[in-house]
């Protein structure tokens, strides 16, 4: 393992959420809304708890028997919702899947009315995906003390369980974060996954964190989040240990943010030749679903460096960990 | 007609350079005398203004009453009454009511409602284009005859520069002032907060500084070409203020205002997805706030307004991007303006000037000063009255203010419009 020089400290970020609503008074996970604001100990505990689930021979645990979890999805999702559902079931919780299409939420029922109704059905935990940034925070600020909220993606803000399953996958292969050089490639502007990953990697003390994208896909001020910015993928990927590719939404191609899929692939697409610039034992990740031939070649996606399918299976254990840790008793105390 | 004697107050009348403890005598809608009583004056009513400031009634260049169209948020009656209790004697309503103020009938309706309410004066800006659509020039002459004090397209764009040029030419033809809220809609792109590091962290769509500066540049060019009299409303960026300063230096007679909250708050105040800080135009960076303060201090920005946008509680109860922008500002205009004097940015007289004489002159109104013969629109306030902003202390129907919990100093005790006492704390 070669040593990586630690970066100069990034500009001190703005302190957010002074009274951290994600933690209870004992410092335990209360809601899981964002990676930002959580200490390293909590992130490590999520990883360790997830590891205890994967290490066990059991497939089913009784930890959340008698608890009800509602999957509240305001945006369509199959994979994320399925893994949350599977995670809840493996913990023996009762699961309620509620898909709210844009049309039904525009019938005049406010989000708060809907929450009140669900609380009356004695739901103990909301897993929320919403198109608006801050939606999970909003809900967490309006639930009673025995209800906890898990963010399954809010707008372009955060997707903390996805980032934690990525950290879990990285740790399986490369457990020493301070020695790692990591590059995130693609649409950082719109990616909630990327924001969560950046906070997680920095909190876990990664040695060097790079982001690689054209200027149209980089949010203003991203360097203040503790990353090195690259436009040139060849320079950015050189000698990295971990490459994280981001998904590029269809509606952002064809002239809106990039001129074409073809040109994007030419400039930022991951090929075997480019991956060869990274460390020989580098791993390559993608939150899925992959646009083959846009973000990466099939040869890379299915090649020996790819850990993409491991990410998917790790998703269940990480979500089980977050659920088990955040679940509350009726008196508001931690159920774990 | 009541004859009123205001006794022992500290009269501050920036227009006439008056800053002295004296008496004021009011009758027949007008200031009759300052100091000694006019011969034979017998007052029906005496207001003891000892330890209080007596100044021209405040003139707020931008306040939405939500009527017609959104009476569930607020009404002309509720907001002109709240204004009276806040020492504001004149409100100017942008044309984006529903329907928009683009026909004399709407102007008359609003006049009628405001006369019925009998509180502070309510003036209107007419729609620059029909239904604010940005495509067809409105009937500006008819609107002027009906009583609008200027033209504006509110927050709506006029994308085609040829149409904008003709609208300016037509306004200039009728000697109408055009009020411009500079915003390039392509660049602001449905953003909801200032584009910067905080928006990026929170994943909120940003409104870049350039959305304002590009619009200012475009409008300045057409103002110069057409010779229209123009006023820039609610500047939010330091760079835009500098552009106005340069244009003035080059001889272009444009004026500008700022909403008072932009002199205090920044995008950082949004940090916890605080929807009370979801505003349009948005709160900007600290650098912008400081730049706007400099521009106010040096007079590049003339006037200060509340940019009052009251909402019902539900409008702010949602994830931030789904909430409605705007704050309720009538109640806090006076204390936030006098606070600029407490903070030594301006003298008290200069601070009052920014909400009295200067807005009156921008609007071409005779009010805004208290010389003998002037119309008796008067604000009497207790500069030491301390009050906490809360639902209980706000008079506007809208309680959507990011200043909730702030300790304010200064509150109106009496308000006169046209020589009539429309608010007295003793009867409240």
Q: Tokens 């409100």, residue?
A: B91
Order across the sheet with A228-230: list the strands: A228-230, A208-212, A181-185, A242-245, A283-285
The gap between the terminal CA atoms of chain A, to the nearest Å, is 37
Known active-site residue B13: no
A14, A135, A222 ranked by CB distance to B319: nearest: A135
pLDDT score recorded for residue A117:
86
Distance CA B424, CA B428 (A): 6
Question: pTM above the 0.90 mark?
Answer: yes
pLDDT score recorded for residue A143:
93
Distance CA A326, CA A126 (A): 11
Identify the band that residue B403 occupies on the pLDDT scale cut at 50, 70 and 90.
Answer: very high
pLDDT at A109 over 90: no
Asked if the Cβ–Cβ distance from A14 to B314 is below 8 Å, we say no
Pairing of strands A181-185, A208-212: parallel
The whole-number average pLDDT for the span A50-72 is 93
Find out whether A311 and A162 touch, Cβ atoms under 8 Å: no
pLDDT score recorded for residue A107:
56
Find out whether A182 and A64 touch, Cβ atoms under 8 Å: no
Find out whether B137 and B170 touch, Cβ atoms under 8 Å: yes
Phi/psi for A265 (5° steps) reads -60, -40
Q: Tokens 């609007």, residue?
A: B363
Distance CA A261, CA A285 (A): 20
Asked if the Cβ–Cβ distance from B319 to A138 is below 8 Å, we say yes
pLDDT score recorded for residue A19:
65
The pLDDT > 90 percentage for chain B reads 98
DSSP designation for A255:
T
The mean pLDDT value of chain B amounts to: 97
Find out whether B373 and B16 touch, Cβ atoms under 8 Å: no
pLDDT tens-digit series, residues A258-314:
888 899 999 999 999 999 999 999 999 999 889 898 999 999 999 999 999 999 889
Query: How far out from the chain centre does Cα B280 lie?
Result: 14
Pairing of strands A228-230, A242-245: unpaired
Closest residue on chain A to B269 (Cα): A16
pLDDT at A9 over 80: no
The whole-number average pLDDT for the span B306-314 is 97
Asked if the Cβ–Cβ distance from B320 to A138 is below 8 Å, we say yes
Asked if the Cβ–Cβ distance from B195 to A220 is below 8 Å, we say yes
pLDDT score recorded for residue A249:
80
Identify the band that residue A112 occupies on the pLDDT scale cut at 50, 70 and 90.
Answer: confident
How far does the CA of residue A216 sit from the closest CA of chain B (Å)? 13
Number of cross-chain residue pairs from A and B with Cβ atoms under 8 Å apart: 84
How far does the CA of residue A222 sit from the closest CA of chain B (Å)? 7
Q: How deeply is B238 buried, as exposed, middle or buried, from its count of CB atoms within 10 A (0-12, 13-18, 19+)?
A: buried
Distance CA A196, CA B187 (A): 27
**Could you give the angle at the alpha carbon of B281 between the alpha carbons of A107 and B73, nearest 5°?**
45
pLDDT at A3 over 60: no
Phi/psi for B385 (5° steps) reads -60, 120
Which residue would you say has higher pLDDT here, A79 or B94? B94
Asked if the Cβ–Cβ distance from A157 to B203 is below 8 Å, we say yes
Closest residue on chain B to A20 (Cα): B272
Query: CB neighbours (10 Å) of residue B210?
Result: 15
Asked if the Cβ–Cβ distance from A220 to B271 is below 8 Å, we say no
pLDDT at A17 over 70: no
**What are the structural domains of chain A?**
40-158+315-326 (3.40.50.1370), 160-313 (3.40.50.1370)
User: What SS3 class is residue A287?
Assistant: coil
A311-315: which pairs have CB atoms within 8 A and are 24 or more residues apart?
A311/A165, A311/A166, A311/A169, A311/A285, A311/A286, A311/A287, A312/A79, A312/A83, A312/A288, A314/A50, A314/A54, A314/A165, A314/A168, A314/A169, A314/A172, A315/A80, A315/A83, A315/A161, A315/A162, A315/A165
CB-CB neighbors (< 8 A) of B187 in chain A: none
pLDDT score recorded for residue A108:
60
Known active-site residue A5: no
Known active-site residue A161: no
The whole-number average pLDDT for the span B320-343 is 97
pLDDT tens-digit series, residues B83-93:
999 999 999 99
**Could you give the angle at the alpha carbon of B166 between the alpha carbons of B165 and B168, nearest 5°?**
65
**What are the structural domains of chain B?**
56-363 (3.20.20.140)
pLDDT score recorded for residue B369:
97
Structure tokens at B292: 């706007």
Which residue would you say has higher pLDDT here, B318 or A1? B318
Find out whether A142 and A112 touch, Cβ atoms under 8 Å: yes
The mean pLDDT value of chain A amounts to: 90
Phi/psi for A184 (5° steps) reads -110, 125
B203, B317, B319 ranked by CB distance to A195: nearest: B203
User: What SS3 class is residue B187?
Assistant: helix
CB-CB neighbors (< 8 A) of A130 in chain B: 319
Residue closest to A333 by CA, chosen among A151, A180, A138, A124 = A124
pLDDT at A5 over 50: no
Give Dmax over CA atoms of chain A in angstroms: 59
Find out whether B284 and B267 touch, Cβ atoms under 8 Å: yes
The whole-number average pLDDT for the span A10-21 is 51
pLDDT tens-digit series, residues A118-166:
888 889 999 999 999 999 999 999 999 999 999 999 999 999 999 999 9
C-alpha distances out from residue B419 to A262, B3, B7, Å? 74, 8, 15
A137, A220, A224 ranked by CB distance to B206: nearest: A220
C-alpha distances out from residue B379 to A120, B88, B358, Å? 52, 7, 16
Query: CB neighbours (10 Å) of residue B382?
Result: 18
pLDDT at A11 over 50: no
Asked if the Cβ–Cβ distance from A17 to B201 is below 8 Å, we say no
pLDDT score recorded for residue A121:
85
Contact of A221 with chain B, judged by CB distance below 8 Å, is answered with yes
Asked if the Cβ–Cβ distance from B273 to A138 is below 8 Å, we say yes
pLDDT score recorded for residue A102:
57
> What DSSP string runs through B5-66?
EEEEEEEEEGGGTEEEEEEEEEETTEEEEESSPPTT---SEEEE-TTSEEEEPEEES-B---
How far does the CA of residue B100 sit from the closest CA of chain A (Å)? 25
Structure tokens at A48: 């360790």
User: What SS3 class is residue A231?
Assistant: coil
Q: How deeply is A310 buried, as exposed, middle or buried, from its count of CB atoms within 10 A (0-12, 13-18, 19+)?
A: middle
Asked if the Cβ–Cβ distance from A158 to B268 is below 8 Å, we say no
pLDDT at B243 over 90: yes
How far does the CA of residue B129 sit from the closest CA of chain A (Å)? 30
Closest residue on chain B to A15 (Cα): B271
pLDDT score recorded for residue A12:
38
Which residues, in sequence order, are CB contacts of A15 under 8 Å at separation 6+? none
pLDDT at B329 over 60: yes
Which residues, in sequence order, are CB contacts of B115 under 8 Å at separation 6+? none
C-alpha distances out from residue B139 to B102, B133, B164, Å? 7, 14, 15
CB-CB neighbors (< 8 A) of A192 in chain B: 203
pLDDT at A8 over 80: no
CA atoms B246, B248, B249, B252: torsion sign: positive
Distance CA B426, CA B382 (A): 13
Which residues, in sequence order, are CB contacts of A278 under 8 Å at separation 6+? A183, A237, A238, A239, A240, A241, A243
Contact of A196 with chain B, judged by CB distance below 8 Å, is answered with no
Contact of A27 with chain B, judged by CB distance below 8 Å, is answered with no
How far does the CA of residue B52 sit from the closest CA of chain A (Å)? 40
Site from B319, B321, B323 to mutate, A interface, most A CB atoms within 10 angstroms:
B319
pLDDT tens-digit series, residues B167-194:
999 999 999 999 999 999 999 999 999 9
Query: How far out from the chain centre does Cα B130 lie?
Result: 24
Distance CA A260, CA A252 (A): 9
């Amino acid at each position: 393992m070669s040593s990586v020089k630690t970066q100069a400290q990034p500009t001190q970020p703005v302190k957010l959420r002074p009274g951290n609503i994600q933690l209870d008074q004992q410092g335990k996970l209360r809601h899981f809304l964002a990676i930002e604001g959580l200490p390293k100990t909590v992130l490590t505990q999520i990883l360790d708890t997830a590891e205890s689930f994967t290490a066990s021979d059991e497939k089913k645990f009784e930890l959340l028997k008698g608890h009800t979890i509602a999957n509240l999805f305001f945006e369509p999702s199959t994979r994320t919702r399925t893994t949350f559902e599977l995670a809840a079931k493996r913990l023996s919780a009762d699961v309620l899947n509620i898909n709210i299409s844009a049309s039904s939420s525009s019938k005049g029922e406010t989000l708060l009315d809907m929450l009140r109704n669900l609380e009356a059905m004695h739901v103990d935990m909301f897993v929320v995906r919403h198109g608006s940034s801050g939606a999970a925070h909003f809900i967490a600020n309006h639930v009673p003390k025995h209800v906890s909220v898990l963010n399954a993606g809010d707008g372009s803000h955060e997707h903390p369980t996805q980032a934690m399953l990525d950290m879990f996958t990285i740790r399986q292969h490369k457990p020493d974060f301070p020695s790692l050089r990591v590059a995130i490639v693609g649409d950082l502007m719109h990616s909630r996954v990327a924001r969560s990953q950046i906070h997680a990697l920095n909190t876990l003390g990664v040695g060097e964190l790079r982001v690689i994208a054209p200027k149209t896909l980089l949010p203003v001020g991203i360097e203040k989040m503790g990353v090195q910015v690259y436009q040139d993928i060849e320079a950015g990927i050189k000698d990295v240990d971990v490459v994280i590719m981001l998904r590029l939404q269809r509606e952002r191609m064809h002239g809106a943010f990039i001129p074409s899929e073809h040109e994007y692939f030419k400039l930022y697409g991951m090929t075997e030749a480019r991956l060869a610039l990274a460390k020989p034992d580098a791993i390559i990740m993608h939150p899925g679903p992959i646009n083959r031939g846009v973000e990466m070649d099939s040869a890379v996606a299915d090649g020996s460096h790819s850990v993409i399918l491991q990410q998917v299976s790790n998703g269940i254990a990480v979500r089980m960990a977050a659920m088990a840790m955040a679940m509350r008793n009726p008196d508001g105390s931690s159920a774990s | 007609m009541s004859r009123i004697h205001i006794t022992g107050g500290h009269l501050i009348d920036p227009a006439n350079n008056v800053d002295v403890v004296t008496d004021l005598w009011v009758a027949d809608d007008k200031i009759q005398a300052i100091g000694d009583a006019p011969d034979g004056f017998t007052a029906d009513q005496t207001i003891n203004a000892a330890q209080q400031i007596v100044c021209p009634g405040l003139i707020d260049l931008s306040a939405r009453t939500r009527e017609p169209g959104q009476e569930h948020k607020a009404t002309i009656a509720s907001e002109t009454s709240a204004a009276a209790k806040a020492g504001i004697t004149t409100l100017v309503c942008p044309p984006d009511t529903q329907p928009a103020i683009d026909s004399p009938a709407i102007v008359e309706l609003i006049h009628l409602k405001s006369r019925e309410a009998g509180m502070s004066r309510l003036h209107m800006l007419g729609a620059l284009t029909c239904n604010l659509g940005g495509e067809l020039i409105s009937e500006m002459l008819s609107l002027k005859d009906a009583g609008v004090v200027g033209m504006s397209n509110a927050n709506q764009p006029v994308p085609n520069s040829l149409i904008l040029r003709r609208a300016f030419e037509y306004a200039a033809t009728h000697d109408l002032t055009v009020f411009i809220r500079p915003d390039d809609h392509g660049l602001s792109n449905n953003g909801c907060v200032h584009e910067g590091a905080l928006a990026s962290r929170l994943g909120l769509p940003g409104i870049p500084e350039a959305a304002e500066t590009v619009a200012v540049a475009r409008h300045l060019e057409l103002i110069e070409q057409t010779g229209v009299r123009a006023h820039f409303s609610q500047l939010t960026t330091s760079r835009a203020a500098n552009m106005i300063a340069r244009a003035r230096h080059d001889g272009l007679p444009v004026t500008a205002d700022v909403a008072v909250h932009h002199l205090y708050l920044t995008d950082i105040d949004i940090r916890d997805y605080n929807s009370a800080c979801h505003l349009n135009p948005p709160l900007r960076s600290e650098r912008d706030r400081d730049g706007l303060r400099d521009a106010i201090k040096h007079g590049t920005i003339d006037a200060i307004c509340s940019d009052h946008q009251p909402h019902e509680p539900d409008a702010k109860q949602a994830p931030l991007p789904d909430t409605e922008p705007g704050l309720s500002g009538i109640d806090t205009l006076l204390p936030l303006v006098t606070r600029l004097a407490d903070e030594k940015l301006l003298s008290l007289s200069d601070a009052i000037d920014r909400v009295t004489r200067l807005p009156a002159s921008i609007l071409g109104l005779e009010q805004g000063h208290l010389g003998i013969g002037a119309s008796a629109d008067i604000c009497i306030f207790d500069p030491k009255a301390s009050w906490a902003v809360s639902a209980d202390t706000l008079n506007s129907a809208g309680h959507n203010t990011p200043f909730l919990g702030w300790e304010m100093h200064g509150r109106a005790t009496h308000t006169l419009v046209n020589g009539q006492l429309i608010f007295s704390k003793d009867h409240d």
